[in-house]
Structure 1
């Protein structure tokens, strides 16, 4: 199904300084040579792999563009096939003319992700590495880039492959025992097997637990900025983004809808959501905005609850009311990380601030005083946001799972390993143990692509861009 020659634009569509057009297939070099005239008169078919040549793309006597042609011969190419990459000028017209020329010469337009699919089918990448290619292309901060690079280099694959190989060795010995069932012999040392199962269980738990961090790092950590009207939520959003993204005014209820924007803090992507102020109102539009506020809190990983310090400094009743509001948020969203932000501290005295902090810190451990208007305390706030996210695995270069398909397969493998553990503890017969081991091996194989099918491949590579 994949022995023809495909062509596609490998760079973003539209005009630019340079565009790259990629061909892959057994006839890629011979097709390119028909349309390429080297300035030195070289025959492209006779050139060594991993070489670059200057010349022109021509059709009959018409010169389309001056180009650089890179030649990669199988199997030492990205796809494992003959590959030609043509660097031409970035005119949309030139790009289309060259692609149409190759289509007339017998190429076929590549489908989404077909170059990487061929790399997988030809053994250049396993399936998890191929998926990491798409993650690397879409990475927009240091953390997601680091995770994708580690996975593409085979960090995750090698960890899974090692576990699968050890489990497979024991599975083979147990299967051998079944062939000699009448002799009642044991080829697989049960003590060593228990140690292996415990080690696999430990690694699987670590990988499964890492998904909670990996998923939010990959997609950006959503942070909801909530509080009563006119406490400075929009001012804080502008201070975090370092631009006037949200409208700021003294009129309570100015923000009627949610405003979202993303920034990278310490290499980790955060998606901040400025919400409408929470209060009782008869304004229909504002009521809709407040309803959306609670919807956004549901979606957030972290909730920053703002209060204006001057509002609390007026007396103990205001502080007690605010404590009640904190409890409401905690009870309604117990799984959310909550930061209590004392804003507008530039409008109160140092002694008033000290009293407020003492009073509130007995109720909430994460109390941060800031002035969104002057920028005081904003850096401390961003540092605290980073501390809430477990980035230790990133710093230690540990494997982090970010792909929901991998997470699902790991959960299923863990379930089967638990059955194997139970079987060993209860001296289950070898034939029943073998069934659970086979299932665990199956789910390990799903991750790296030893076990696959056309539907799975279609779903994965359909999410790639054309040309990769």
Structure 2
């Protein structure tokens, strides 16, 4: 096993359930001493003689001290999550009891696990590749249907299968080209250049598709920051309350009521929108606190992925909208123009007033146009229906490796067109395989692994 080659021949333990009081807590061990250690504390039967994937109920002791009545789950190597002997002890959910049990285990030569160490061992022992291992962390952190389905697809190997097939084909061509180098004096070709060219074309299309999916993957994983911007009394806080269906922000007829930004999360069709209600923006104010609030509003607008510019249809002119829209587009901001308080004016009047401008009309107070606003937000962010059955890249590390891989594929394509020698072509393919291996974990180092798995929770 790779873990043993790296010096990981010890046994680890950690609480696998969240801290705090609950019905049960699960304490997980992995390593060659896992079964023997618990067997020493479990007097009901000899666990060393029991088969894997079995459950055993009994009392857990520390010497003469009875710690708890527990359920012990046995998983024997290699048929376990980590590929090693794994024991899970289900105890009552008292933090005091859990701490006593873990302390008793560590006095028997078992050390506390680092963050993500169980999954890291699963990777090192070949139970998961690196994309699957990282998807485990994404699955734990998922908080919408879309993020859960995307992560689950990758845990099940959706991303890995696509990359593994491509890697095998590139390796095959690389081996044939390198074989040609051994017969360079005989001027023979074992690798069909036309087939290699077709493969590179296919690989470029695949990597381009995966790179393009990163925007959607990032949205699914991290959500979208949406700043609600507008003049005082445009109805920004009312809109926030209406979208959330609760009175989160203070609403009054007095301009400048909102002095600081208020942030809340809204789930629309599986996408998290991090809504930011901002202080009303106006050119002049003598209120120092309001001035600070306006500065913060402008700062939030700069950082937001999307801006809802909310305005009172009775108080603004079309020229002002066009000016704001032009400034926003010049700064690379996506803006949704939302005209509020349409319940106070005739429809034909506002349609004529803002003719030719893409404005969504609504009434935050009367809940008019709110469903249309939600759908428009989703459309602006993802541009269509989320199909989580497709492979979606949500990891920045994968995105960067794919980008470098695409550059290498272009170099291979150019080499084929220029009919470069086999040794140069082989170098380009090897470089492409290197970036591909960085994603799946065939190419890695211990520092990189420590960084990746340090972001996991302890016990997983």
| Same fold per superposition (TM over 0.5) | yes
Is residue 135 from structure 1 mapped to residue 134 from structure 2 by the alignment?
Answer: no
Q: Which residue of 2 aligns with 1:281?
A: 284
Q: Over the residues paired in the alignment, what is the CA RMSD in angstroms? A: 1.5
Q: Which residue of 1 aligns with 2:167?
A: 164
Q: Which residue of 2 aligns with 1:297?
A: 301
Query: For 1:338 and 1:356, how far apart are their aligned partners in 2?
Result: 20
Q: Which residue of 1 aligns with 2:114?
A: 111
By how many angstroms is 1:329 displaced? 2.6
Equivalent residues, number: 453
- On the 8 A contact 2:219/2:271 being kept in 1, the answer is no
Aligned with 2:457: secondary structure?
A: coil
- On the 8 A contact 1:197/1:417 being kept in 2, the answer is yes
Q: Which residue of 2 aligns with 1:321?
A: 320
Q: Which residue of 1 aligns with 2:455?
A: 463
Aligned with 1:389: secondary structure?
A: helix
TM-score for the superposition, normalised by structure 1: 0.94
Is residue 213 from structure 1 mapped to residue 216 from structure 2 by the alignment?
Answer: yes
Query: For 1:142 and 1:294, how far apart are their aligned partners in 2?
Result: 32
- On the 8 A contact 1:224/1:300 being kept in 2, the answer is yes
Question: CA 1:72 to 1:130, structure 2 compared with 1: closer, same or farther past 3 Å?
Answer: same
Is residue 408 from structure 1 mapped to residue 408 from structure 2 by the alignment?
Answer: no
Query: For 1:430 and 1:141, how far apart are their aligned partners in 2?
Result: 49
Query: For 1:293 and 1:454, how far apart are their aligned partners in 2?
Result: 43
Deviation per CA, 1:101-138: give whole Å up to 9, x if none. Answer: 10112211001111001100110000111111111111
By how many angstroms is 1:409 displaced? 0.6
Aligned with residue 362 of structure 2, among 370, 373, 387: 370
Deviation per CA, 1:316-365: give whole Å up to 9, x if none. Answer: xx33333333333333x33x3321111112222xxx3233235435122x
Aligned with 2:199: secondary structure?
A: helix
**Ranges in structure 2 where 5+ consecutive residues have no aligned partner:** 1-6
Query: For 1:307 and 1:214, how far apart are their aligned partners in 2?
Result: 32
- On the 8 A contact 1:393/1:399 being kept in 2, the answer is no
- Counterparts of 1:57-456 in structure 2 under 5 Å? 57-282=60-285, 283-312=287-316, 318-331=317-330, 333-334=331-332, 336-348=333-345, 352-360=346-354, 362-364=356-358, 367-390=359-382, 392=384, 394-395=386-387, 397-456=389-448
Question: CA 1:397 to 1:2, structure 2 compared with 1: closer, same or farther past 3 Å?
Answer: same
Question: CA 1:18 to 1:357, structure 2 compared with 1: closer, same or farther past 3 Å?
Answer: farther
Q: Which residue of 2 aligns with 1:13?
A: 19
Query: For 2:113 and 2:48, how far apart are their aligned partners in 1?
Result: 23
Q: Which residue of 2 aligns with 1:25?
A: 31
TM-score for the superposition, normalised by structure 2: 0.95
Deviates more, 1:373-382 or 1:174-183: 373-382
**Ranges in structure 1 where 5+ consecutive residues have no aligned partner:** 313-317
Query: For 2:182 and 2:385, how far apart are their aligned partners in 1?
Result: 45
Query: For 1:437 and 1:408, how far apart are their aligned partners in 2?
Result: 18
